[in-house]
Amino acid sequence: MRLSTSQIFQQAVSAMQNKQAELAKAQLQLATGEKNLAPSDDPAAATRILDLNHVIDTTAQFQRNADFADARLSLEETALTDVGDLLQHVRELSVRANNATLNAADRQAIAAEVRANLDALLQLANRQDAQGEYLFSGFQTATRPFADNGAGNFTYAGDQGQRSVQIDTRRQVAVGDSGDEVFMKIDDGSGGVSSMFGILYDFMTELEANNTSATTQIRLDSAIDSVSNTRALIGARMNTIESQRNANDSFSLVLQENRSKLEDLDYTEAISRFQQQLLALQASQQSFVKVEGLSLFNYL
């Protein structure tokens, strides 16, 4: 087989260019830390990485939802803790008011304290979060839920809705409770229902008239139980959120590890390959210099 000088020259140049391209790719891999510099390097891996990125992003959104739900429920739980403490204090006042040694002036003083607690209860029921949304308005978060006309009539302007957020592909959690359920449907001790506000208002008016009712403490106990039951539901939801958040963290870690195996560079292998390619390029260049200088006249 005859090879012209031009052919030898072109083959050598082509070989060196290929070696330079391989070396440049290895150098870029080392600089970026990525195994595949383009989807064409490994189409199957590129597709899998896209799928993993989508699931990782979705899981991160679930975590943000869980954080929001936990913060929202914490606000509600704090508000209901304050409501429970307030009702417990009013119950203590009802026990004191039943003391036969008290006179009308004494009961007037207790009535004034009950009025102050009634105002505080309305404020707690109308509590807002950091975004200005009302905690107990159902879906109507921009609507002030409870109002008092001053004559013992208490109204609810929210709805029965219960907001929920997605914390996993198959799990949602409620982030609030309807104020109608929490504050407006309390057993009144005689087979009917009353609002927490109405219970305190009736107690106050009885004291102002120097009277006490045998059902006041029963009604207050019902209100306290209602708050405790709602707080128990909130605690169960917060436990669910914490459990799911831990599961999401573990799942996300597995996904990231799988993605790392597909896209992260093995530096030990890459450095070794870089050194081999560098030596191959140097050998190609040196051999080209020797061959390029050959001539028959060197032997004449």
Extended beta strands in the chain, E state: 146-148, 154-156, 164-168, 171-174, 186-187, 193-194
Q: Supply the range of the domain harboring residue 240.
A: 52-257
Cβ–Cβ under 8 Å, residues 223 and 198: no
The first and second tokens of residue 144, run together, are 């002030």
Which pLDDT score is estimated for 27?
66
pLDDT for the residue 190? 76
Give Cβ neighbours of residue 267 (< 8 Å, ≥ 6 apart).
30, 33
Residue positions counted in the chain: 300
- Are both 204 and 289 inside the same structural domain? no
Does residue 132 fall inside a structural domain?
A: yes
Q: What is the DSSP string of 264-293?
A: B--HHHHHHHHHHHHHHHHHHHHHHHHHHT
Assess whether 202 and 298 both reside in one domain.
no
- What span, in angstroms and rounded, lies between the C-alpha atoms of 124 and 196? 12
Residues 234 and 172 in one domain: yes
- Residue 229 φ/ψ, nearest 5 degrees: -65, -40
Structural domains counted in the chain? 2
Residue 39 within any structural domain of the chain: no
Beta bridge partners of 112: none
With respect to residue 42, please indicate whether it lies within any of the assigned structural domains: no
Query: Residue 156: beta bridge partners?
Result: 146
Q: Cα separation of 184 and 155, whole Å?
A: 9
> For 176-228, what is the HEC assignment?
CCCHHHHHCCEECCCCCEECHHHHHHHHHHHHHCCCCCCCHHHHHHHHHHHHH
pLDDT 10s digit of each residue in the chain, 300 long? 555 556 656 666 666 666 666 666 666 666 666 666 666 667 777 788 788 889 999 999 999 999 999 999 999 999 999 999 999 999 999 999 988 888 999 999 999 999 999 999 999 999 999 899 999 999 999 999 999 887 889 999 999 999 999 999 999 999 999 999 999 999 877 778 999 999 999 999 999 999 888 889 999 999 999 999 999 999 999 999 999 999 999 999 998 888 777 666 655 766 666 677 666 666 666 666 666 665 544 544
Q: Kindly state whether residues 186 and 60 are assigned to the same domain.
A: yes
Contact of 65 with 121, CB cutoff 8 Å: no
Closest CA to 284 of 14, 5, 4: 14
Tokens standing for 25? Answer: 């790719």
176 and 72 in one domain? yes
Same domain, 199 and 76: yes
**In this structure, is residue 59 part of a structural domain?**
yes
* Residues 212 and 292 occupy one common structural domain: no
Beta bridge partners of 64: none
Shared domain for 215 and 289, answered yes or no, is no
User: H-helix or E-strand containing 33?
Assistant: none
User: What CATH number corresponds to the domain at position 122?
Assistant: 1.20.1330.10
Question: Same domain for 226 and 288?
Answer: no
Q: Looking at the structure, do residues 247 and 209 belong to the same domain, yes or no? A: yes
Q: What is the C-alpha separation between 198 and 186, in angstroms, rounded?
A: 10
